[in-house]
Amino acid sequence: MHTFSINGKTISVFSNGGPEAPMIYLNTYLNEGKQIFEALRKANCPPFTLVAISNLDWNRDMVPWDSPPVFRNAEPFTGGADAYLRLLTETIIPEVEQQISAKPQWRGIAGYSLAGLFALYAICQTEAFSRAGSISGSLWFPGAKEYIFSHQEAHTPDCVYLSLGDKESKTRNPILSTVQKQTEEIHAFYQSRQVDTIFQLNPGNHNRQPAQRTAAGIAWMLSR
């Protein structure tokens, strides 16, 4: 593992392949990159490099625009995804790939919860990533589905992985309860564009086995 910092973000690089191996950029909430990397190695995935980014301002860096909190006494969302995406594509990616002398076969982007929302937003904005994984993605976020539908991707992704826990929409919260419907409609949208995509329902609620779910999503991306 190789770790360094850029603009307060912690970047950890885990290599399980040569410099031309695919690279997955994973935005993390609790610095769970090592756990996910070990799960992927045990799954005998094809060669890859995992770049886990932590110490994020979660409710800012991962969301594309301002939105009120969805829980009482929670912090509001202050959209900073564009600024973070510029940092990722213009500074973090070049620095990572220069340090390890990498010219990856392809790049993917993945994340859990709000980072899953960010992954889909990113492929609408940049050609840097050809595969995306939104694992238990916060696709309930107001306006997210409409944005994806109304903006042509920067390029058509090779594949998109979507997942949810089967209890995530079973809530009295009127916003969060839409998450499965929104995710299914986004899945259908990508299918209509002939994008290789899958929607996986996992047992449990949003907080059940996030690292294992994330590893499963990345493994699927690596298998295509």
Tens-digit pLDDT profile for residues 126-172? 999 999 999 999 999 999 999 999 886 667 899 999 999 999 999 99
Strand partners, 209: none
Distance CA 148, CA 187 (A): 11
22 band by pLDDT with thresholds 50, 70 and 90: very high
Q: At which residue do the structure tokens 């594949």 appear?
A: 159
54: domain CATH number is 3.40.50.1820
Structural domain count, the chain: 1
Residue 89 near residue 123 (C-beta atoms within 8 A): no
Tens-digit pLDDT profile for residues 28-47? 998 899 999 999 999 999 99
What is the mean pLDDT of the segment spanning 7-24?
Answer: 94
SS (H, E, C) the chain: CEEEEECCEEEEEEECCCCCCCEEEEECCCCCHHHHHHHHHHCCCCCCEEEEEECCCHHHHCCCCCECCCCCCCCCECCCHHHHHHHHHHHHHHHHHHHCCCCCCCEEEEEECHHHHHHHHHHHHCCCCCEEEEECCCCCCCCHHHHHHHCCCCCCCCEEEEEEECCCCCCCCCCHHHHHHHHHHHHHHHHHCCCEEEEEEECCCCCCCHHHHHHHHHHHHHHC
Tens-digit pLDDT profile for residues 47-103? 999 999 999 999 999 999 999 999 888 899 999 999 999 999 999 999 999 999 989
Structural domain including 72 reads 2-223
Predicted local confidence at residue 17, as pLDDT: 87
Q: What is the largest CA-CA distance in the chain?
A: 50
